[in-house]
């Protein structure tokens, strides 16, 4: 539902706006009033009662402050633990949380017969069922759910498309099978499998899943007088409407109180050069089996966890976010670095990973940034704009699926145009697993592989505002207008990020 404005979207953004206002006004003491401000009156708009609606809002407010949700079986105010909120870090897992009483307990994977069934004489649905789960009752097809093995043959055989396959939207969106059920049939996340991609958040039509935010901590850090830099992901292009060019977005972000705005695509330029050299000197020589790469931490965690045989083939180069933060942190060691990006996975990378020092102090999504704009009454498209020329065209392409591959190929061919590079790429973790299964079987030796957890790449992240295809089109237009086309033209190419 990315790019579609729904009541779930509206509620989520209202919470971000109110939490941002609370941070700007330093008014945490008003937290108990917020559910009544967001859900006024006595009549429910979305759920069975206004009390349930406000209870869900309370949990969303806690998560937006970086706090854990409350248990439904014990009394606790929304403000429980709020005295520590300025010190809250997202390393307090879990990042992605189910608000249990907001979950509607959607049916799990099952096949259902709809009213389209014509009770045909052939009833092929009965003939093809391998376990005799399908039969004709009162002239209509019927599926015995106790016997059904969800093979889908009846669905494929029906000439009227009368049989449909249901699954929980959150579970269907999860590429690592991390969504299960609790004792009440409500969605439950297996955190041993979850990679914090956040696709379940945008998939749930009941708004029952949310991630923790650092929007409050970012604002208070600026209010406390710190120099705070916004490191913006390339997918920010076009997120705030057609009038909000990158130059105007930069001016709008600075109007919020940020010291300056830096393109994270700088790190993409550096990464593509490093990985091009790795491919030439390690893969083409046969020293390493293949190079699997991405700027996506969810992909990286999944690949190493589920395909340990290929762990050594997953690129060890710093992601654009980390590389850019390293550069700016060296120049401004006392300043705070805030990554502004498209997804919750970057929150995981910045605060939780122990193997890589990120130098990123906070992470917020584009939606959370919008909450800050609205809280301050700022319209990015209304500004004159400021110079926006940190990165090259190829580095800016990291935001969409295939862009990382394009960047590395471009850098390889800048070094040696004669080198042939077999490539494969996948979007969505389920498809990524299929690609890595082929690699595990030895069918991708010598390849450059790219994986992205979100369909469309970073432009499809859970924290984006507009449809992925529209963002990708905006980025490609910006790439076309960027004078420096190749990574080796970057003014930061010689920076040390160790």
pLDDT tens by residue, the chain, 498 residues: 667 888 999 999 999 999 999 999 999 999 999 999 999 999 998 899 999 999 999 999 999 999 999 888 888 899 998 888 877 664 568 999 999 999 999 988 899 999 999 999 999 999 999 999 999 999 999 999 999 999 999 999 999 999 999 889 999 999 999 999 999 999 999 999 999 999 999 999 999 999 999 999 999 999 999 999 999 999 999 999 999 999 999 999 999 999 999 999 999 999 999 999 999 999 999 999 999 999 999 999 999 999 999 999 999 999 999 999 999 999 999 999 999 999 999 998 887 665 567 799 999 999 999 999 999 999 999 999 999 999 999 999 999 999 999 999 999 999 999 999 999 999 999 999 999 999 999 999 999 999 999 999 999 999 999 999 999 999 999 999 999 999 999 999 888 877
pTM of the predicted structure, to 2 decimals: 0.93
Is residue 46 included in any domain, yes or no? yes
Rounded distance between C-alpha atoms, residue 432 and residue 177, angstroms: 13
pLDDT at 355: 58
Q: Based on the domain organization, do 208 and 222 belong to the same domain?
A: no
pLDDT at 494: 85
Q: Based on the domain organization, do 310 and 181 belong to the same domain?
A: no
Q: Based on the domain organization, do 343 and 361 belong to the same domain?
A: yes
pLDDT at 447: 97
pLDDT at 93: 80
Q: Based on the domain organization, do 306 and 405 belong to the same domain?
A: yes
Among 166, 182, 198, the domain boundary falls at 166
Is residue 1 included in any domain, yes or no? no
Q: Based on the domain organization, do 296 and 404 belong to the same domain?
A: yes
Count of domains forming the chain? 3
Is residue 496 included in any domain, yes or no? no
Domain that holds residue 138: 110-166
Q: Based on the domain organization, do 89 and 230 belong to the same domain?
A: no
Q: Based on the domain organization, do 302 and 425 belong to the same domain?
A: yes
Q: Based on the domain organization, do 54 and 125 belong to the same domain?
A: no
Is residue 498 included in any domain, yes or no? no
pLDDT at 75: 83
Is residue 497 included in any domain, yes or no? no
**Which CATH number do you get for residue 162?**
3.30.70.20
Q: Based on the domain organization, do 187 and 280 belong to the same domain?
A: no
pLDDT at 497: 77
Is residue 413 included in any domain, yes or no? yes
Is residue 118 included in any domain, yes or no? yes
Q: Based on the domain organization, do 385 and 411 belong to the same domain?
A: yes
Is residue 135 included in any domain, yes or no? yes
Q: Based on the domain organization, do 255 and 321 belong to the same domain?
A: yes
Q: Based on the domain organization, do 462 and 359 belong to the same domain?
A: yes
């Amino acid at each position: 539902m990315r790019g579609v404005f729904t009541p779930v979207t509206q509620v989520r953004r209202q919470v971000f706006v109110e939490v941002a206002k609370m941070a700007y006004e330093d008014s945490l003491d008003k937290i108990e009033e917020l559910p009544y401000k967001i859900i006024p009156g006595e009549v429910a708009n979305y759920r069975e009662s206004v009390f349930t609606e406000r209870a869900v809002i309370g949990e969303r407010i806690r998560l937006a402050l970086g706090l854990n949700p409350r248990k439904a079986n014990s009394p606790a105010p929304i403000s429980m633990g709020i005295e520590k909120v300025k010190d809250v870090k997202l390393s307090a897992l879990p990042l992605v949380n189910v608000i249990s009483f907001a979950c509607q307990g959607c049916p799990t994977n099952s096949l259902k017969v709809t009213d389209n069934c014509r009770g045909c004489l052939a009833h092929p649905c009965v003939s093809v069922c391998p376990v005799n789960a399908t039969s004709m009752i009162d002239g209509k097809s019927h599926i015995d759910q106790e016997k059904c093995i969800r093979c889908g043959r009846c669905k494929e055989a029906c000439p009227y498309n009368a049989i449909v396959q249901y699954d929980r939207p959150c579970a269907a969106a999860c590429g690592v099978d991390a969504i299960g059920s609790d004792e009440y049939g409500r969605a439950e996340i297996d955190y041993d499998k979850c990679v914090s991609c956040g696709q379940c958040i945008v998939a749930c039509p009941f708004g029952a899943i949310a991630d923790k935010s650092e929007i409050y901590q970012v604002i208070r850090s600026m209010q406390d007088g710190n120099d705070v830099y916004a490191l913006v992901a390339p997918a920010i292009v076009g997120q705030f409407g057609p009038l909000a060019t990158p130059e105007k977005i930069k001016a709008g972000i600075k109007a919020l109180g940020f010291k300056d705005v830096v393109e994270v695509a700088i790190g993409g330029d550096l990464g593509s050069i490093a990985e091009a050299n790795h491919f030439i000197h390690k893969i083409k020589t046969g020293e390493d089996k293949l190079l699997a790469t991405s700027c996506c931490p969810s992909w990286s965690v999944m690949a190493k966890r589920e395909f340990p045989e290929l762990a050594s083939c997953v690129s060890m180069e710093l992601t654009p976010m980390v590389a850019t933060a390293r550069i700016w942190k060296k120049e401004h060691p006392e300043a705070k670095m805030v990554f502004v990006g498209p997804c919750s996975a970057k929150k995981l990378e910045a605060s939780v990973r122990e193997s890589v020092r990120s130098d990123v102090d906070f992470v917020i999504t584009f939606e959370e940034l919008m909450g800050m704009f609205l809280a301050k009454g700022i319209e990015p498209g209304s500004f004159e704009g400021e110079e926006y020329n940190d990165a090259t065209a190829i580095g800016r392409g990291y935001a969409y699926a295939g862009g990382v591959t394009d960047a590395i190929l471009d850098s390889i061919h800048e070094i040696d145009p004669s080198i042939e590079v077999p490539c494969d790429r996948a979007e969505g973790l389920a498809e990524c697993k299929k690609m890595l299964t082929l690699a595990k079987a030895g069918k991708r030796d010598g390849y450059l592989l790219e994986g992205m957890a979100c369909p469309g790449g970073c432009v499809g992240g859970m924290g984006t505002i507009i449809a992925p295809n529209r963002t990708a089109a905006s980025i490609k237009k910006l790439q076309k207008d960027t004078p420096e086309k190749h990574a080796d033209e970057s003014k930061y190419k010689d920076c040390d990020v160790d």
